[in-house]
Amino acid sequence: MFHMDRKLLEEDRRSPKNNVKKNFWFFIWSFVFFFGCRPQLSYATLTAQWMQDLYSSRPEIKLRDIVVPGTHNSGTSQMNLFSRISPGDPILYQLIRPSILSWSRCQFLNLYQQLINGIRKLDLRIAFVRSKPYIVHGMVSQSLEGALLDVKRFVLKHPQEVVLIRFRKYFPLRKRDSDAVNASEERLTRNLFKQILGRSLRDFSQDVRFRDFWSQKQSVMIVNDIDDYWANTTDLQDLRLKSTSHLNRRNPERFHEISLIFTSPEKFTFFLKPRIAFSFHARSNALSVLSKPIRDVATEWIDSWAREGKKINVVSTDFVGLWPFAKSVIQINRRRL
């Protein structure tokens, strides 16, 4: 009886029907393993370490010889409807908070996310609130300490990536502090940079080579003494013409930043136009709606300027989480190798 059962089992196992079933499940599990379990290189992985990837085999390349992607008003992502109005700005702002928020927030990604996505130059506007430095732009966003801790977190994880930081005092519409107050606040700000970033900081020089950044383990630079330009317009063609003209006549020996942004005019009627949508969506506001035409064409402009040989050190813009801005600049650097 036992031998009969065993014989029947062996015949059943060799039957074509069972072979088809076994092959089917082998195919299914192979497909799941190959496409579901193998490691994937994400966009963020590639952009988080693009300097290391491009220049580890060419460490003699200087900072001045690459194009650095940057953000304008980098630290504004933490603003919300209940944020403080920036010190010194009009009291009227308290009554029109939704409008102020919708025009003041220039980024939806926080600083760490921007750096992971390939941004390497940050723009921080600083004001002191109750004797502590904060990132502001119409409204108070986050503490400078929190912002620098984001930078430190990134640098510790990616020590071969170079980060440029420009900080400026935020000048409100109606208040100007004395020179003594300005000097004191700048000293306190620099001390906080040293306290948090420590030995990662180095003095600015556009002639530093990547091998110097890496051998000395100093990958963060304060770049306050650079030239910059923005077209101060809300017209797309005007932005391109002015930016191109400026690049043609700029001093190529000076480290330079150009900002591809729209600057709203200081006219109250401008903010009442119905074409500007007020939104509380996490990734949309009035300024992002206004600046969408830039996102549609700016990567083509940058690529065209680079192919024409125009000297670009830093190019900055708003809302880098909404378009592949950093990736496009990285590609320009890749082509130059």
pLDDT at 167 over 60: yes
- CA 296/CA 263 separation, integer angstroms: 17
In the structure encoding, which two tokens stand for residue 164, read together?
């440029």
- CA 306/CA 90 separation, integer angstroms: 42
Full DSSP string of 303-316: HHHHHTT---SEEE
Helix (H, G, I), strand (E, B) or coil at 286: helix
pLDDT band at 262 (very low <50, low <70, confident <90, very high): very high
pLDDT band at 294 (very low <50, low <70, confident <90, very high): very high
Task: Find the Cα–Cα–Cα–Cα dihedral 305, 308, 310, 316, rounded to 10°.
Answer: 10
The per-residue pLDDT for 38 is 38
Radius of gyration of the chain (CA): 26
- CA 106/CA 318 separation, integer angstroms: 5
Tell me if 210 sits within 8 A of 61, measured CB to CB.
yes
Least confident of 171-175, 226-230, 256-260: 171-175
Task: Find the Cα–Cα–Cα–Cα dihedral 298, 303, 305, 307, rounded to 10°.
Answer: -170
Mean pLDDT, residues 188-199: 97
Distances from the Cα of 246 to the Cαs of 73, 249, 251, in angstroms? Answer: 22, 5, 10
The per-residue pLDDT for 16 is 54
The dihedral region occupied by 292, where left means phi > 0, alpha psi between -120 and 50, and beta the remainder, is alpha
The per-residue pLDDT for 176 is 72
What's the mean pLDDT when you consider all of the chain?
86
The per-residue pLDDT for 86 is 93
In the structure encoding, which two tokens stand for residue 80, read together?
């919300």
The per-residue pLDDT for 46 is 80
Tell me if 92 sits within 8 A of 300, measured CB to CB.
no
Q: What is the pLDDT of residues 19-50, one digit of tens each?
A: 555 555 555 544 444 444 433 344 455 899 99
Alpha carbon 283 to chain centroid, angstroms? 15
Of 221, 210, 258, 206, the C-alpha closest to 50 is 210
Least confident of 275-284, 285-294, 328-337: 275-284
The per-residue pLDDT for 172 is 76
In the structure encoding, which two tokens stand for residue 197, read together?
């970033």
Q: What is the pLDDT of residues 125-136, one digit of tens each?
A: 999 999 999 999
Helix (H, G, I), strand (E, B) or coil at 128: strand
pLDDT at 2 over 50: no
pLDDT band at 158 (very low <50, low <70, confident <90, very high): very high
Mean pLDDT, residues 108-112: 97
Mean pLDDT, residues 156-182: 88
The per-residue pLDDT for 27 is 56
Least confident of 113-122, 153-162, 171-180, 226-235: 171-180
pLDDT at 222 over 70: yes
Alpha carbon 226 to chain centroid, angstroms? 19
In the structure encoding, which two tokens stand for residue 119, read together?
């941004």
In the structure encoding, which two tokens stand for residue 216, read together?
């000395």
- Residues sharing a CB contact under 8 Å with residue 103, sequence separation 6 or more, in sequence order: 138, 264, 271, 285, 286, 287
Higher pLDDT, 178 or 25: 178
pLDDT band at 281 (very low <50, low <70, confident <90, very high): low
For the full predicted model, state whether its pTM sits above 0.75: yes
In the structure encoding, which two tokens stand for residue 192, read together?
């906080």
Mean pLDDT, residues 214-233: 95
Mean pLDDT, residues 222-241: 95
